[in-house]
Structure 1
């Protein structure tokens, strides 16, 4: 079995500071990467910033600053988001400045050109600067962009086009056979419906004048700039060294067992149709899986910079801790649907589920051990082993379908099982008996064995939880290791009261 996994997030525009909507995608990808690593996969997690966009240029102009300076500053904020959220990415690529990117995009262009899939034509269409995409009248809602609610402008110019229509049949076969698996099934069906309705060739360049001279020039045609979506999609291979470091590219793309993208529903078409067609044209393997998530909303409206309702994740992390923010996004936002973000619900989840659930379970047991100086060796009773294994299998199945909320619900089911075991065995009473009768070693042995079984359950909970809540689970596992080694414990709340 080839256990090499290349996993990517999309790369966001850097026309403003990052918001919690992109944080959702980062933590989803991070959980998949951490879980697969724990299963023994060799994982490379890739993220970055999409900088060669007219949207970024226009934002810089509004701010009265040079584009390179503007995007560079915002790109640093997106990169810093990894630390804030505990993201274990292996690489962060900047498409405007990373020396790997332009050679890869140019190579990809030449490969598509060699396949006869690039040609020039004059085109007139309705263009949304926010999406950097052409729309038909039928795509619009009351004459406005379905994503941004703004009226697109009519653009007429001569561009380079890609023969997307040529790949209808092969794309359909790849998706139907799950050679290119799209989850959830609703998004798979939407993509198949789009393909079966007939694919039109799409523009892969813009006039350099309209692009304000920002971006990668079309090879041998200085009047044109490569369209941001052809450019941006290329980051998935440029970050691996396509055109610059073929050894790494061979390992993580050509020969990888899995090539997976985590994307928002608004860019499904680009990743499940355009990108695979470009790869086919270039003679490269397709992605094996595309995980599609919904939007974060506020009062039913998509969170976004253009909607004026963006919420920064950084102050949330500073107040509640990064595990709490990760938990809320993963448990209370159904990954494949839109979900309304609420600080009140975040606080409720923090108090009732984190502090009152896993935090209370750990605190009750470890405090007894620390107070009485008991040395405990964690183990799993046969019945507990079965429950733990069933939970592990259920979590793995849920993650296969991108159902992070179900995965965490399964883990919290195990926490409920552990809490019941604590209530049933009443270890505090057993310890009290042993302390009151120090001459009876049998009572001490029974107390230590009971605590060992319960701590073994907590250890299993922490291990399963670690990909989701790396900080608190890591702390808990360290405490348990200290208990097993007979070291003194200084127990503090995993999730302290919110001030």
Structure 2
């Protein structure tokens, strides 16, 4: 069993169906999880839904159903999204589960035992949509002069009894964490924002509500439910069996990576580590706040009528092309944009025309001109140079970039190797060699066969279904599809020794067509 690697997404708030932002984060986390598995790590991948809070209660009331009925219905859509997009989660955690209530209450007791909770009266600005309290200095003016949160959401003045967490006590410990572990918050721009916020001094945090009852009950305090962020953040512990600190918890905690949207970095990089410190638990290794995915450069909203159902995109273009586009097109950590035209253009140019066509041409020629047979062959300098270049891209450049969550950079290195293979085909012209030098033709095709195997293993975390289809066609065993297999110098001769023949290949990366209803940007 390999070294443990625990990755989580933010848990989604299910007061509406999944949108493209939810899909983007889930896909990115899945690529990371699959990559780490392929590197030999023992991966634990958790996602889920955050089902408590005032928004859920209000939405259920508007629909004439109970909050539990609403959460049951809506969480099923998020599970379906993950399954449809081939997201290989190990745990899908719902905060309405009994085990989560038990974990949250135990965490609360630890904060209380450490003297970090006290009862007081809260008066201040609260955003129902953000489930967040804001200081007066953080508010911005709306178009009509109304007060809005930094996220542009409405706020209302709230007065109620509340339990408070002594967040102010953790100002210096948090700054020591950020300075001692610069990788704790990434990218650097997010780290700088958080440090400026904490350096400005922290106020104690309201962590319970009495104005609604849809949430985890505060132990020993009738009428109080936990403020949704304390409840929600605890999910990362719940999924490992907390408060039992043996078993999965002992193996996988602290988390290697909390992958979240940039709009909730403060909760994960300030409140969460402070809560963990108070409870005597280790803090995660890294919090990474990715950017937003924009629709033709605009943030999606119901009022603009540009909200995209990610499952409709997957149905139109295919799951793997959508996954490839999102990881290739957007510099991870920054905002990015998508459109049907961009998806079709990118995937046709790279997946279909460059890589897919390479695979189909080479395997077809081996099937047609070599009866699908693999054999030992003498190589020349051009063959060795190509395989060395492909190896470097697949075993060194792409893994190094992916380990740093630089997906577009890693895929760029992979594409350069694909282009090199296509240039090699054109230079060697195996269709001409078939008549003039059949033995050399075989060497060229088998060199490309070896390159295709490496390229396909490397891109598997991004396009798992399509890559598996290619690896099945070329007879690579399931246990030899990880990155360590790329260093096996004897794999080709072992494949030859089986005596198996390649069959007629079927295309794994068909060209995409632009939907008729898509309009130019």
Q: How far has the Cα of 1:44 moved from its partner?
A: 0.5
Residue number in structure 1 paired with 2:374: 376
Residue number in structure 1 paired with 2:149: 145
Residue number in structure 2 paired with 1:459: 453
Q: How far has the Cα of 1:377 moved from its partner?
A: 5.2
Residue number in structure 2 paired with 1:437: none
* Matched residue count: 482
- Deviation string, structure 1 residues 21-73 (Cα, Å, up to 9, x no partner): 11111111111111111111111000011101221222222222221111111
The alignment status of 1:295 with 2:301, answered yes or no, reads no
Residue number in structure 2 paired with 1:99: 98
Residues in 2 aligned to 1:132 and 1:377: alpha-carbon distance in whole angstroms: 64
Residues in 2 aligned to 1:75 and 1:488: alpha-carbon distance in whole angstroms: 43
The alignment status of 1:469 with 2:463, answered yes or no, reads yes
* Within-5 A mapping of 1:386-397: 386-391=388-393, 392-397=395-400
Residue number in structure 2 paired with 1:45: 45
Match of 1:492 among 486, 507, 515: 507
The alignment status of 1:108 with 2:107, answered yes or no, reads yes
SS of the aligned residue for 2:474 comes to: helix
SS of the aligned residue for 2:202 comes to: coil
**Residue range with higher mean Cα deviation, 356-365 or 294-303:** 294-303
Residues in 2 aligned to 1:111 and 1:305: alpha-carbon distance in whole angstroms: 42
**Residue range with higher mean Cα deviation, 294-303 or 216-225:** 294-303
| Residues 183 and 290 in structure 1, CA contact (< 8 A), matched pair in contact too | yes
Residue number in structure 2 paired with 1:136: 135
Residue number in structure 2 paired with 1:418: 421
| Residues 296 and 339 in structure 2, CA contact (< 8 A), matched pair in contact too | no
Residues in 2 aligned to 1:271 and 1:493: alpha-carbon distance in whole angstroms: 40
Q: How far has the Cα of 1:344 moved from its partner?
A: 1.6
Q: How far has the Cα of 1:179 moved from its partner?
A: 6.8
Q: How far has the Cα of 1:396 moved from its partner?
A: 2.5
Residue number in structure 2 paired with 1:436: none
| Residues 356 and 507 in structure 2, CA contact (< 8 A), matched pair in contact too | no
Q: How far has the Cα of 1:7 moved from its partner?
A: 0.5
Residue number in structure 1 paired with 2:123: 124
SS of the aligned residue for 2:423 comes to: helix
Residue number in structure 2 paired with 1:333: 330
| Residues 427 and 447 in structure 1, CA contact (< 8 A), matched pair in contact too | yes
| Residues 180 and 287 in structure 1, CA contact (< 8 A), matched pair in contact too | no
Residues in 2 aligned to 1:427 and 1:178: alpha-carbon distance in whole angstroms: 54
Residues in 1 aligned to 2:320 and 2:331: alpha-carbon distance in whole angstroms: 17
Match of 2:360 among 355, 359, 363: 363
Residues in 1 aligned to 2:162 and 2:127: alpha-carbon distance in whole angstroms: 16
Residues in 2 aligned to 1:449 and 1:29: alpha-carbon distance in whole angstroms: 40
Residue number in structure 1 paired with 2:483: none
Residues in 2 aligned to 1:338 and 1:170: alpha-carbon distance in whole angstroms: 31
For structure 1, list consecutive stretches of 5 or more residues without a partner in the other structure: 434-442
SS of the aligned residue for 1:229 comes to: helix
| Residues 378 and 456 in structure 1, CA contact (< 8 A), matched pair in contact too | no
Q: How far has the Cα of 1:306 moved from its partner?
A: 8.4
SS of the aligned residue for 2:93 comes to: strand
Normalising by structure 2, report the TM-score.
Answer: 0.88
Q: How far has the Cα of 1:300 moved from its partner?
A: 4.1
Residue number in structure 1 paired with 2:348: 351
Match of 1:448 among 442, 450, 458: 442
- Deviation string, structure 1 residues 210-243 (Cα, Å, up to 9, x no partner): 22x2111111112111011000000000011002
SS of the aligned residue for 1:231 comes to: helix
Q: How far has the Cα of 1:399 moved from its partner?
A: 2.2
| Residues 178 and 184 in structure 2, CA contact (< 8 A), matched pair in contact too | yes
- CA gap 1:165/1:419 in 2 versus in 1, 3 angstroms: same
Normalising by structure 1, report the TM-score.
Answer: 0.91
SS of the aligned residue for 1:388 comes to: helix
Residue number in structure 2 paired with 1:233: 233
Match of 1:206 among 205, 209, 216: 209
Residues in 2 aligned to 1:340 and 1:253: alpha-carbon distance in whole angstroms: 35
Residues in 2 aligned to 1:371 and 1:104: alpha-carbon distance in whole angstroms: 61
SS of the aligned residue for 1:122 comes to: strand
| Residues 378 and 453 in structure 1, CA contact (< 8 A), matched pair in contact too | no
Residues in 2 aligned to 1:234 and 1:291: alpha-carbon distance in whole angstroms: 18
Residues in 2 aligned to 1:110 and 1:180: alpha-carbon distance in whole angstroms: 30
Residues in 1 aligned to 2:273 and 2:41: alpha-carbon distance in whole angstroms: 24
Match of 2:164 among 156, 161, 164: 161
SS of the aligned residue for 1:481 comes to: coil
The alignment status of 1:405 with 2:408, answered yes or no, reads yes
| Residues 128 and 134 in structure 1, CA contact (< 8 A), matched pair in contact too | yes
Q: How far has the Cα of 1:95 moved from its partner?
A: 0.6
Residue number in structure 1 paired with 2:197: 194
Residues in 2 aligned to 1:241 and 1:306: alpha-carbon distance in whole angstroms: 42
The alignment status of 1:430 with 2:433, answered yes or no, reads yes
Q: How far has the Cα of 1:259 moved from its partner?
A: 2.3
Match of 2:267 among 249, 267, 270: 270
Residue number in structure 2 paired with 1:62: 62
